[in-house]
Structure 1
């Protein structure tokens, strides 16, 4: 009888220790989710929404640092006009910023 009680007690102690061993790993995953993964997903969602709402006349900046004004919008590409009146055809994925509120440089 005493042996069965000891085995049961030993089994419950082992199960408790297994959970306690994985608790730090679980906490690390939760911290990564809230401080790294979730904000990145939110930024990507906002950027996708911004790209979908582009319209003719918007001032934008590309990933390469080219500033321009949108002249034409297609399904996957955008034609922007840069300062020298040249027109560039770029992918919508290359548009990263809205520059309408930036003051003009001298």
Structure 2
């Protein structure tokens, strides 16, 4: 059974073309950028096209990472005791792959604790 609605007639779609047939519809290859398109996706990005997140394009030194982790830790747990701050710093350094010696972690924790 075919049902025609007003919007199909306005778009010029016949009732026969609106019948749903299993497996019918746009093929994944017809989709580009989330919409059906006749465009063929570019095989390679154009020169100068940004195709990676900006943060991945610039190297950050370990010292920059340490400074950022210390600043964030100060915001998150700066009012806790020095041992807790040191634990958080160690965890964050481990998560980011930055090696910091225990004596430096202790010094940074003291800096955060003392404001």
Using structure 1 for the length normalisation, give the TM-score. 0.22
From the two aligned structures, give the one with the greater strand fraction. Answer: 1
